[in-house]
Homo-oligomer: A and B are copies of this chain.
Amino acid sequence: MEYIDEITSLKNQVSFRGTLEVPEGIENVVIAGMGGSGIAGKIFQELYTKKPVSLVTSYDIPEFIGQKTLFVAISYSGNTEETIQAVNKAKKRGAQIRAISSGGKLAELVENTVIVPKGFQPRSAVGYLSVPLLRGFGLLDDKDVELTKNLLSDLDTHQTRFEEFGNDIFQNKSIPVIFGTPGLNAIAYRWKTQFNENAKVLAYSTSFPELNHNDTMALENTYRKDEFYFFVLTSRTPEKEISNRIRITSELCNIEMHKVEGEGNTVFANTFTLIHKGDYISYFLAKKRGVDPRDVAIIENLKRELAVS
């Protein structure tokens, strides 16, 4: 599959019917996942606030995990070393375990696994990996899906402005920095990782209002300021407090912030249209750089070397 086909498949992924089965009586949720698979947990953590949600992004699990914990392991390949180790530890604690995966060891290890379609890069399967979680917790309905599908289709037919962003970043060989806003910090991080993996450029993300307590001091006065390219991600109707912060920060620090808004008036539509925009921009930057957005050879080499060391 061409990488562009993986990107445009997002509109189909959002209507995936897989649903995580959520047991009664749980007190907290823990989601284990790394990189392109881990992003689903980060999105969920920001959107679901009815119970404490903790993320595991390494080999170890927190002590509180027990029978009242719903432990969800997400690994597209099903073979992510850190996630497999974490599942084995959570099993010993008697946690209620679920998984989302295209197969691999994880699907063998966890009876209750939502199986998603094979053949994608993990990061391109973000819809397949997120939807079962959002659906399981009732954060998604059919109207949402229909709206989002239409908005994503529409973005697919208007790619030029994303290409312009890619060209603009390339022109000055800029380092993208993405500012999240409340509810969209996971998406800012998603953009960062897509710039890393697709375009093979360093990129970073930070968040409003937290960045006003530290980054702001640097944004005014740092060396190399012109070498960064600042994005800020918002919904179409951000909170007034946040809009004010964006405007004032931009003025006081004298920086250009490229504002990118989500589409639609639901959280789901907003989230997935913003994901899609970042996917496109990083893809076009890759093309402009002449690098293959699919290529993740170094990550594969690293896994191989780790396995024998």
Partner of A223 from the list B192, B201, B216, B296 (CB cut-off 8 Å) is B201
Task: State the Cβ distance, A283 to closest chain B Cβ, in Å.
Answer: 14
Contacts of A289 in B (CB 8 A): 223
What sequence of 0s and 1s flags, for each residue 226-259 of chain A, a beta carbon within 8 Å of any chain B beta carbon? 0110000000000101001100110011000000
Q: How far is B217's CA from A193's CA once the two chains are assembled, in angstroms? A: 9
Contacts of A207 in B (CB 8 A): 57
Known: A27-B27, A60-B182. A302 touches B200 (CB 8 A): no
A57, A63, A202, A215, most chain B CB atoms within 10 A? A202
- The answer to whether the Cβ of A94 comes within 8 Å of any Cβ in the partner chain is no
Contacts of A8 in B (CB 8 A): none
Task: State the Cβ distance, A27 to closest chain B Cβ, in Å.
Answer: 6
Whether B201 contacts A302 by the Cβ 8 Å rule is no
Q: How far is B210's CA from A201's CA once the two chains are assembled, in angstroms? A: 17
Whether A213 contacts B252 by the Cβ 8 Å rule is no
- The answer to whether the Cβ of A1 comes within 8 Å of any Cβ in the partner chain is no
**Chain A, range 188-202, C-beta contacts under 8 Å to B:** 192-193, 195-197, 199-202
Contacts of A218 in B (CB 8 A): 195-197, 199-203
**Chain A, range 56-73, C-beta contacts under 8 Å to B:** 57-60, 62-64
Q: How far is B173's CA from A253's CA once the two chains are assembled, in angstroms? A: 19
A189 nearest in chain B by CB position? B214
Extra A-B contacts (13), CB below 8 Å, given A27-B27, A202-B222, A202-B225? A36-B213, A52-B62, A54-B54, A57-B207, A57-B210, A58-B209, A59-B241, A192-B214, A201-B223, A202-B215, A216-B299, A219-B298, A248-B309
Contacts of A175 in B (CB 8 A): 175, 224
Task: State the Cβ distance, A41 to closest chain B Cβ, in Å.
Answer: 12
Which residues of A come within 8 Å of B, CB atoms?
27-28, 34-36, 38, 49-54, 57-60, 62-64, 82, 173, 175, 177, 182, 192-193, 195-197, 199-204, 206-207, 209-210, 212-225, 227-228, 239, 241, 244-245, 248-249, 252-253, 289, 291, 295-296, 298-299, 301-302, 305-306, 309
Partner of A217 from the list B197, B215, B248 (CB cut-off 8 Å) is B197
A194 nearest in chain B by CB position? B214
Contacts of A27 in B (CB 8 A): 27
